[in-house]
Structure 1
């Protein structure tokens, strides 16, 4: 899963982002995927695009989910992305 990157888009003080981070850390750690976090308040475009959806999760740059992270769905998406050539 080294080629899979999960991205969490959020902002400081977001309790749903904290919940999402815990799920992402667990799934990424168990599956060996990389993960990163991006603060949408550092980019006008990210703020405009994602303000009402955070937390947003991306898998390899493609939007996977928003508001809440379902662990089983994220795990399945990461596993599927890891199978792609």
Structure 2
């Protein structure tokens, strides 16, 4: 018996356009950079996040711990912090190649 992936069963298509699949996957990802103003490590991290997400077409957002008490309590000792799809990926320094791998590149 041939098993089909849930995606195949849901769409009912026998072939997929690889480019469309990659673009959809990139749009479903989200990178979050948590930092604060006047933080040189945060600025360095933002450069890496902007570059990697720009190259891969992955959306990203920036959150400021000085504007969010919960984020401040959770991350103030670790900033900058990078989340990938809501899960902590790294803190302090962002490695470009590691982030690319985490995003499936």
Q: TM above 0.5, one fold? A: yes
Pair 1:30 & 2:55 matched: yes
Task: Give the whole-Å Cα distance in 1 for the aligned partners of 2:48 and 2:95.
Answer: 8
One of 27, 39, 49 as aligned partner of 1:2: 27
Matching residue of 2:78: 53
Matching residue of 2:38: 13
- Structure 1: gaps (5+ residues): 81-85
The aligned length equals: 80
Which aligned runs of 4 or more in structure 1 are off by greater than 2 angstroms?
A: none
Secondary structure (helix, strand or coil) at the match of 1:38 reads strand
TM-score normalised per structure 1: 0.91
Pair 1:44 & 2:69 matched: yes
* Larger strand proportion of the pair: 1
Structure number with greater Rg is: 2
- Structure 2: gaps (5+ residues): 1-25
Q: Which of 1 and 2 has higher RCO (CA within 8 Å, sep 6+)?
A: 1
Pair 1:64 & 2:89 matched: yes
